[in-house]
Amino acid sequence: MITKGISRRRFVQTGLCGLALGGGIGVSLLRDSSQVWAQTFIRPPGALMGDPFYAACIRCGLCVEACPYETLRLFDYVGSADTGTPYFVAREIPCEMCVDIPCVQACPTGALDPALEDIKYATMGVASLSHPHLCNSYVGAAFCDSCFRACPLQGEAITMKVGATGMGGMFTPTVDPDICTGCGKCEQACIAQPAAIRVSPSHAE
């Protein structure tokens, strides 16, 4: 079960982490159980990748506490290497790409890399029109550019490419993976249910 909130952080700090980290259970062995959620949930800006992140993150929750938009949560599924680590769900509350990146500033260990000084260079993930058949513009059901308008890097990370899509539409939301930060605002804004455009988390690659 995944829940949100600082009260959960206390729970994680005092109980679950001790179980996972102090009980002699190897982090690498536990990681396999996290594969399913890892495909969906996104790490905060500046998060180290792979083993360095697991080694550096002390599950303190200070990044969660610092996030002004309540974007971040701590993973509290028992028995996972990811237990107590921060993440967000783009479809629910995306990252607002704060200019001062308070989550990174709050991290005491460098698990969220302080070298990230410009949020535009965050690499949380990459969005793509992964389910084009659900996109109104792509299939020509109606014109929609909700994802485009939601993007903090509108016109750079995402454009509305004009041209026949082959499925009846004339517009394709097109993401530049080199510029997209993976903030997830496009995914949240997508009017399709479920979303036609989705972020693939960097840590799950």
- Smallest gap from Cβ 149 to ligand SF4, in A, equals 10
HEC sequence for 54-108? HHHCCCCCHHHHHCCCCCCEECCCCCCCCCCCEEECCCCCCCCCCCCCHHHHHCC
Sign of CA dihedral 31, 91, 4, 96: positive
- Smallest gap from Cβ 5 to ligand SF4, in A, equals 14
**C-alpha to C-alpha distance for 157 and 90, rounded to whole angstroms:** 16
- Smallest gap from Cβ 68 to ligand SF4, in A, equals 6
- Smallest gap from Cβ 107 to ligand SF4, in A, equals 3
Q: Does 103 sit near ligand SF4 (CB under 6 A)?
A: yes
Residue 198's beta-bridge partner residues? 128
**C-alpha to C-alpha distance for 113 and 103, rounded to whole angstroms:** 10
Q: Does 101 sit near ligand SF4 (CB under 6 A)?
A: yes
At 37 the three-state DSSP class reads: helix
Q: Does 69 sit near ligand SF4 (CB under 6 A)?
A: yes
Q: Does 71 sit near ligand SF4 (CB under 6 A)?
A: yes
Q: Which of residues 122-181 bind ligand SF4 (CB under 6 A)?
A: 127, 150-151, 153, 157-158, 175, 180-181
Query: For binding to ligand SF4 (CB under 6 A), which residues are involved?
Result: 44-45, 57-63, 66-67, 69, 71-72, 86, 95-98, 101-103, 106-107, 109, 111-112, 127, 150-151, 153, 157-158, 175, 180-186, 199
